[in-house]
Amino acid sequence: MMPWLAVTLDLGGEAAEAFSEALLSAGAQSVALEGGRLSAILEAHHDANALMAAAARSTGVAAPSFSVRRLEDQDWVRASQAQFAPLRLGRLWVGATWHEAPKSAAVIARIDPGLAFGTGSHPSTKLVLAFLERTLAGGERVLDYGCGSGILAIVAAKLGAASVDAVDVDVQAVEATAMNARLNQVEVRALAPESLPMTSYDLVLANILFQPLVVLAPLLAARTARGGRIALAGILEAQAAELIAAYAEWFDAAPAAREDGWALVAGVRR
């Protein structure tokens, strides 16, 4: 049995949303947001103070006060199962292995909470899933950059993409994506960024954070085929205009959808 740490803090409004995303990027295994109360699960060896400081630097939010308590393994499993509800988007259903999928769902993807971010529960992930459900016609070459659990790559494959590559700088995320692809019986090539072959894609997905998306603009543009599309998420609505400007050299882009203060920017490569 492995112990965990449960961290609880209070933040308001958009700061809480941004901080939840930053905590996941900094190493939290799971984050739940209810009202202004933010709860995060960390591995026991993590330094909660260092993780909070990293999230504060990433978001520009002053480091808040927080409490920490120890969870045993069984408590973590129960907390995980309670936190993640199934998601239905048109013909797509996403849920964990312990959820029962409705018979009416045409496309079923199963992702358990675990070593990498992405179960479909966060608004930024929902935005990209809905974009895929709306726009994928089948036969596309897809790249998921910053794949986390692999949920976006797996759903793209389930929706008929001809080939799907998924990359992440986190070795655990690459392993989780490969494992989840096997669970879902789809072909997804999970790689570290430096192992990605020099090729272009019809659709590039990146659900990360605002600053990395800005830095990655030339790289993601180089990976997108002429006339291909890009979908960028993990940003707040207030950051959409600045992100569009960062990609304007290569893409005709615009805000494509919004949910709970988060935005999806989509564009076409010139």
**66 neighbors 11 (Cβ within 8 angstroms):** no
Give the model confidence (pLDDT) of 183-240 as tens digits.
Answer: 999 999 999 999 999 999 999 999 988 888 999 999 999 999 999 999 999 888 989 9
pLDDT of residue 256: 97
pTM higher than 0.85 = no
What percent of the chain stands above pLDDT 90?
49
Average pLDDT, the chain: 86
- CATH number of the domain that residue 59 is part of: 3.30.70.1170
Domain coverage including residue 54: 4-82
Quick one: 46 and 154 in the same domain?
Answer: no
The domain total for the chain is 2
Domain boundary among 29, 61, 82: 82
pLDDT band at 75 (very low <50, low <70, confident <90, very high): very low
Alpha-carbon torsion, ordered 44, 46, 50, 54, to 10 deg = -120
Q: 């459900």: which residue's tokens?
A: 133
- Residue 146 within a domain: yes
Quick one: 45 and 152 in the same domain?
Answer: no
Q: List Cβ<8 Å contacts ≥24 apart for 235-238.
A: 235/124, 235/209, 235/210, 235/262, 235/263, 235/265, 236/14, 236/17, 236/18, 236/210, 236/261, 236/262, 236/263, 237/261, 237/262, 237/263, 238/14
- Residue 90 within a domain: no
Quick one: 158 and 78 in the same domain?
Answer: no
Give the model confidence (pLDDT) of 143-197 as tens digits.
Answer: 999 998 899 999 999 999 999 999 998 888 899 899 999 999 999 999 999 999 9
Quick one: 72 and 125 in the same domain?
Answer: no
pLDDT of 80 higher than 60: no
Residue 183 tokens read as 């669970």
Quick one: 175 and 258 in the same domain?
Answer: yes
Domain boundary among 58, 82, 106: 82
pLDDT of residue 74: 47
DSSP state of 230: E
Quick one: 137 and 240 in the same domain?
Answer: yes
- CATH number of the domain that residue 259 is part of: 3.40.50.150
Looking at per-residue pLDDT, the higher value among 75 and 130 belongs to 130
